[in-house]
Amino acid sequence: MDKMDKYNDTPVKLMLYPAILFMIVGMTIGTFIAFNAFVFPDYFSGEYIHFGRVRPVHVGTVTLLWLLSANIGLFYFFVPRLCGVSLWSPLLAYISAGIWWFTLVLGVFSYPTGTNFGWEYAEFPNWVSAIPTKPLLVIAWLMIVCNLFMTVATRVYEKMYVSLWYAMGTLIWTTFTLLVGSYLVMMVPMGISRVNTSWFYVHNLVGLIYTPMGLATAYYFLPKISNLPIYSHRLSMVGFWTIAFVYAWIGSHHMLHGPISQWLQTVAGIFSIWLFIPVWTVCHNLFMTIALDWKQYIQSAPIRFIIMGVAFYLLTCIQGPLMSLRNVAEITSKTDWIIGHSHISLYGTFTFFAMAGIYGALPVITKKPLWSNKLADWHFALNLWGSVPFIFALWVGGFLQGMMWATWANGSTYAQFHNNLVNLTFVDTIAEMHPWWTLRAIGGLIILFGNFLFVVNIYNTIMLAPSKEPREVIS
Amino acid sequence: MSKKNDGFIHKLDLSAILTVIAIIVLFSCSIGVILLAPYFTETAWRQPSTPYQVQMYEISDPNFYISSTPRGQVQERQLVYHLKNNFTLLAFQENEYTRIIAPDDLEKYVTYIEDTKIKLTSRLLLLRQYTEKTSKKAEELKNKLTTEWEKAHPDAAKEGISKPAYVVLELYAPETKEAFARATTDGIIDNWVSEADTTFMESPQQPYHNDLGVIYVSNPEEYRIAKYKYNQVEYWRYDPKGIPIASLEQLKSHPLGFMSRKELISFGEHLYAIEGCWYCHTDQTRTLVQDVVLNGSDSFPAPPSSPNEYIYQEITFPGTRRIGPDLSRVGVKRPSRDWHKAHFWAPKTESPGSIMPTFRHFFDNSPSGTPSTALGIPNYQFEAIFQYLMTKGTRITPPTEAWWLGKDPIKTKEIIEGLRTLP
């Protein structure tokens, strides 16, 4: 009992519990969009709920209010435990959490009223009415960074586990990336310089924030929950350094064939291919860890989440480098394939990791076993089987869409090209997407239902007395 | 734990410090190479495509005013040029049905129908309906033209051709240094001449007058308004016999409420951001055959987007996904204001199969309560987004050397037909 009381877990709860709630909110908005914008376009219509105004709310809710916040909560959980000391300043954590939630909720849910900043993934507004939301967010983030770094600095365990490396990397990268995307983008000259900066930010957001955060979580919780040692510490270091080296260079692959210098596109392509290295090391490392005892995959939902997350990670990172090849991008770029790709990484991989982390941390912070393992099994099953129609519909549909667009290039004279376009107009190719979009929406509904079970399970674990189902507390 | 090593640095061991330093070094390296270096090595990132692009954004847009919210009757949108002496270039051109009469000292400014070169001046002159003084001369000219036409078309009645209504305008020099005028324009593309077709009537007064080609205002007539009352409410309308606009403040403030095209474009860009247009529409013609064909006209492909097209944009929206067509050439593909009005009102009716939402908040109700058309009255939001869209693809090259006329500078057509290799 001594050991458990050593750590103050209130900051963890302050970040995790609201994040779980916002996950459901964000996914509900996503499912709403899937139906209202694509399956039954504009069943509900109006100035404030059309697709363009609601989409950023979905993206903002699931990326910032859910995934980033949940990962910070998990950092608050495992960074002190890996350092052997309690969080440096719980008070600072309470204050930062207060600012964090206030400003994020205000900023993200103000998008429909017209506060969208206008850059991809950087929609967060400078001001909402008289409240400086973006500066407040940056301040809250810097408080979190300061708190976690001081925890590392005051640690008693000398050896630093790989999750700590990833955590420290995330804290530095996120700070830079946040500043680039929020401020630098409007300071550089107008036009393509800004576009280039924006894509730099966008890819760093995924590659240098969510990736190391998710991997830190996976590297901590997989050995912890399975009680198996990590396969290779050295391999995890190779992964860490290649991520640090590669990600910041690849932003321009969002502009392949676009109005940006060819050499930048090539540089981005080359570094994207290098991404195979960190991905294979991470996947190999985590798979080899669980390979010592595959039975646990069947027995434990959080392990299933991590391992399926790793599988999705492998998929997304095979796709990513290939999509940055010019001839592949010619077909996949600007289609729904891209939407599928972003969902498999942020949802299929990092949301899965975060959920596993929550399953791992919850019994410790509540000092109660999970309310129902059966519900957790269902949660995993519905997430997995919902994500299949969801993501594969976007891939297949997007690929077919890209192939249809490519038919315009059949022939050798402009008359032939133009004739192709007359025979298959742009709106025709959109109409062809309808069945795939329907399938995606159904998949989204299944996932939403599965995550609703998750919330019920979490809520009951916190609020109810432990059920009689036997379960050991993981510490 | 020894007290000596209590500092922050000592507690982070060497490997951690090296990690932090290495991360920052790697990150800065990439910032230097891919964010900062291109600005110095890539001239197209900062140099405009043509003098025409510069003039449109810097000379034309700030001095071109559009009535975004017509008050009173459902009247046509009003386009007004703000002319300044020794700044705005003017041309007074006769055409098939228009003739210009001028006092002796101003005759040299008129480009007569037989002239081959357009005469440009930066002296502030205006056209008006002929006055009593000149009416005799004007009537004579009109009669002469009508008789000539009748001679040339003896069987007009049989062929069902109606007699043209000739217009005779009088050139005069106003006493003011600036004026507000209506002129011949479509509101999207401005008049532009190549050097060979112009004569300047005086030495260049402004740096832009020296540009290779130059934009000018054609046949300006003073913009006058009349106020009237209807149901106790005061309204205004265009009236050639009304009172002139006294100042820029009057033009921009209530009840006239004009906005410059520059303001509208910038506001349109803001609307494009907050309405989330960019989540479905890309704004780049990629270097792919399918893209140049998609954005091309019936006979010519659109040239791929070039970085300098975007240099006047606060926010640029290259986009990640196309579930609506690409918009980088929309000013050429869809220049019709009426089409956009109908399309924003009901996209699914206007282009069947579209999943675009309606934008009814770009329209107001008719003030009389009974709309005379099926659509609402487009408000300043519509005008702003329309003006923003009309900049797309129309300003790369001067209209006289436009790609839609087959004069594409990079020869996209030859390249995609395989007759030419990429430079």
CB contact under 8 A, A421 and B286: no
Q: Is the pLDDT assigned to residue A171 strictly greater than 50?
A: yes
Average pLDDT over chain B reads: 87
Which residue on chain B is closest to A406 by alpha carbon?
B290
Interface of A with B in 151-180 (CB under 8 A): 152-155, 158, 160, 165, 168-169, 172-173, 176, 180
Cβ burial of B196 (10 Å; 0-12, 13-18, 19+) is exposed
Cα atoms in the Cβ-side hemisphere of radius 13 Å centred on B96: 4
Q: Strand B224-230 to strand B233-238: parallel, antiparallel, or no bridges (unpaired)?
A: antiparallel
Q: What is the pLDDT of residues A228-278, one digit of tens each?
A: 999 998 898 889 888 888 888 999 999 999 999 999 999 999 999 999 999
Beta bridge partners of B180: B82
- Predicted local distance difference test score (pLDDT) of residue B155: 81
Q: Is the pLDDT assigned to residue A467 strictly greater than 70?
A: no
- Residues on chain B touching A168 (C-beta within 8 angstroms): 16, 19-20
Give B97's pLDDT tier (boundaries 50, 70, 90): confident
What is the DSSP track for B44-58? GGTS-S-HHHHHIII
Closest-CA distance of chain A to residue B416, Å? 8
Q: Strand B198-200 to strand B118-120: parallel, antiparallel, or no bridges (unpaired)?
A: parallel
- Predicted local distance difference test score (pLDDT) of residue A155: 87
Give A2's pLDDT tier (boundaries 50, 70, 90): very low
Please check whether residue B395 touches A, CB under 8 A.
no
- Residues on chain B touching A333 (C-beta within 8 angstroms): 286
Q: What is the pLDDT of residues A274-310, one digit of tens each?
A: 999 999 999 999 999 999 999 999 999 999 999 999 9
Average pLDDT on A109-129 reads 94
- Predicted local distance difference test score (pLDDT) of residue B210: 85
- Residues on chain B touching A47 (C-beta within 8 angstroms): 360-361
Q: Which of A417, A420, A423, A428 should be substituted to probe chain B, the one whose Cβ sees the most B Cβ atoms within 10 Å?
A: A417
- Predicted local distance difference test score (pLDDT) of residue A1: 39
- Predicted local distance difference test score (pLDDT) of residue B3: 43
CA-based nearest residue to B100, from B140, B132, B130, B136 = B130
CB contact under 8 A, A406 and B34: no
What is the side-by-side order of every strand in the sheet holding B213-218?
Answer: B110-111, B90-93, B213-218, B191-194
CB contact under 8 A, A430 and B355: yes
- Residues on chain B touching A160 (C-beta within 8 angstroms): 13, 15-16
CB contact under 8 A, B354 and A427: yes
Task: Name, in order, each residue with C-beta under 8 angstroms of B147's C-beta and a sequence gap of 6 or more.
Answer: none
- Predicted local distance difference test score (pLDDT) of residue A269: 94
Average pLDDT on B207-228 reads 90
Q: How far, in whole angstroms, is CA A45 from its chain's centroid?
A: 29
Average pLDDT on A21-45 reads 95
Identify whether B255 is preceded by a cis peptide bond (ω within 30 of 0).
yes
Q: What angle do CA A34, A40, A42 make, to 5 degrees?
A: 90
- Predicted local distance difference test score (pLDDT) of residue B2: 39
Which one-letter DSSP state was computed for residue A300?
A: -
Average pLDDT on B187-191 reads 87
Give B370's pLDDT tier (boundaries 50, 70, 90): low
Cβ pairs bridging A and B (under 8 Å): 232
CB contact under 8 A, B35 and A152: no
Q: Which of B40, B45, B408 should be substituted to probe chain A, the one whose Cβ sees the most A Cβ atoms within 10 Å?
A: B45
CB contact under 8 A, B290 and A405: yes
CB contact under 8 A, A408 and B16: no
Task: Name, in order, each residue with C-beta under 8 angstroms of B32's C-beta and a sequence gap of 6 or more.
Answer: none
Please check whether residue B294 touches A, CB under 8 A.
yes
As a whole-number percent, the residues of chain A with pLDDT over 90 amount to 87
Interface of B with A in 344-373 (CB under 8 A): 348, 351-355, 357-361
> pTM of the entire structure?
0.93
CB contact under 8 A, A257 and B360: no
Q: Which of B24, B27, B270 should be substituted to probe chain A, the one whose Cβ sees the most A Cβ atoms within 10 Å?
A: B27
CA-based nearest residue to A65, from A20, A110, A28 = A20
Separation CA B1–CA A455 (nearest Å): 44
Q: Strand B90-93 to strand B213-218: parallel, antiparallel, or no bridges (unpaired)?
A: parallel
Please check whether residue B22 touches A, CB under 8 A.
yes
Q: Is the pLDDT assigned to residue B81 strictly greater than 60?
A: yes
CB contact under 8 A, A426 and B294: yes
Q: In this structure, are residues A316 and A310 in contact, taking their beta carbons and an 8 Å threshold?
A: no
- Predicted local distance difference test score (pLDDT) of residue B22: 84
Which residue on chain B is closest to A208 by alpha carbon?
B27
Q: What is the pLDDT of residues B253-308, one digit of tens each?
A: 888 889 999 999 999 999 999 999 999 999 999 999 999 999 999 999 999 999 99
Q: In this structure, are residues B23 and A175 in contact, taking their beta carbons and an 8 Å threshold?
A: no
Phi, psi of B29 (to 5 degrees): -55, -50
Q: What is the pLDDT of residues A394-442, one digit of tens each?
A: 999 999 999 999 999 999 999 999 999 999 999 999 999 999 999 999 9
**Which of A258, A408, A433 is closest, CB to CB, to B293?**
A408
Please check whether residue A388 touches B, CB under 8 A.
no
Interface of B with A in 300-329 (CB under 8 A): 300-301, 304-323, 325
Phi, psi of B81 (to 5 degrees): -90, 140
Q: Is the pLDDT assigned to residue B4 strictly greater than 50?
A: no
Lowest mean pLDDT among A8-12, B153-157, B194-198: B194-198
Separation CA A446–CA A197 (nearest Å): 37
Closest-CA distance of chain A to residue B251, Å? 28
Average pLDDT over chain A reads: 93
- CA distance from start to end of chain A: 10
Lowest mean pLDDT among A72-81, A316-325, B183-192: B183-192
Give A6's pLDDT tier (boundaries 50, 70, 90): confident
- Residues on chain B touching A259 (C-beta within 8 angstroms): 284, 304-307, 309-310, 318
Give B162's pLDDT tier (boundaries 50, 70, 90): confident
Which residue on chain A is closest to B306 by alpha carbon?
A259
Q: Is the pLDDT assigned to residue A3 strictly greater than 60?
A: no
Across A139-165, b (16+ Cβ under 10 Å) vs e yields bbbebbbebbbbbbbbbeeeebbbbbb
Q: Is the pLDDT assigned to residue B137 strictly greater than 90?
A: no
Please check whether residue A50 touches B, CB under 8 A.
yes
Task: Name, in order, each residue with C-beta under 8 angstroms of B9's C-beta and a sequence gap of 6 or more.
Answer: B17
Q: Which of A144-148, B100-104, B225-229 has the highest mean pLDDT?
A: A144-148
CB contact under 8 A, A412 and B298: no
Q: Which residues in B55-142 belong to E strands, given as ranges?
A: 64-67, 79-84, 90-93, 98-101, 110-111, 118-120, 126-129
Phi, psi of A137 (to 5 degrees): -65, -45
CB atoms within 10 A of CB B98: 16
- Predicted local distance difference test score (pLDDT) of residue B365: 72
Average pLDDT on A383-401 reads 95
Q: What is the pLDDT of residues B387-407, one digit of tens each?
A: 999 999 999 988 888 999 988
Beta bridge partners of A134: none
Instruction: Output the six-digit token pair for A353.
Output: 């990791």
CB contact under 8 A, A259 and B305: yes
Average pLDDT on B33-59 reads 91
Helices and strands, counts by H and E, chain A: 22, 0
Please check whether residue B27 touches A, CB under 8 A.
yes
Separation CA A211–CA A320 (nearest Å): 13
Instruction: Give the H/E segment covering residue B24.
Output: helix B14-30
Average pLDDT on B61-84 reads 80
CB contact under 8 A, A257 and B286: yes
- Residues on chain A touching B19 (C-beta within 8 angstroms): 165, 168-169
CA-based nearest residue to A17, from A357, A455, A465 = A455
Q: What is the pLDDT of residues B243-258, one digit of tens each?
A: 999 999 999 988 888 9
